[in-house]
Amino acid sequence: MMASSLSAAQEMIRAECREVERILLAKNAAYGNSALQPVRIFSKAGAIEQIRVRIDDKLSRMARGQAAGEDVSLDLIGYLVLLRIAERAEEPNVHDRRPHTS
């Protein structure tokens, strides 16, 4: 699909997706792969559970209107993308733990 054939809404969708990508890549460069490979100094929870906690925190801030200068909706979208990545990364492991029947 050529850029000139996109509607205004489609161009806005593309721009927002690129912004999410930019933010995720910048945070990954700044913090390492901490969302998907947490250091686990205090918490021993896995990556998926830690991402879910961060999503809960973002939703709580949105509900209370306490953004503290951050773009909560953009952060939330980013964490949802990371959650999908973490879940997909674990899928092969889930299949490996299933009992084999023959």
pLDDT per residue as tens digits for the range 32-91: 999 999 988 999 999 999 999 999 999 998 898 877 788 999 999 999 999 999 999 988
Residue 2 forms part of a structural domain: no
Residue 81's nearest CA partner among 31, 14, 36 is 36
Secondary structure class of 36 (helix, strand, coil): coil
Residue 54 forms part of a structural domain: yes
Cα 54 versus chain centre, distance: 10
Domain that residue 27 falls in? 7-97
Q: What is the CA radius of gyration of the chain?
A: 17
Rounded Cα distance between 92 and 25, Å, is: 25
Look at residue 14 and tell me whether its pLDDT is greater than 80.
Answer: yes
Instruction: Please give the tally of structural domains in the chain.
Output: 1
Residue 102 forms part of a structural domain: no
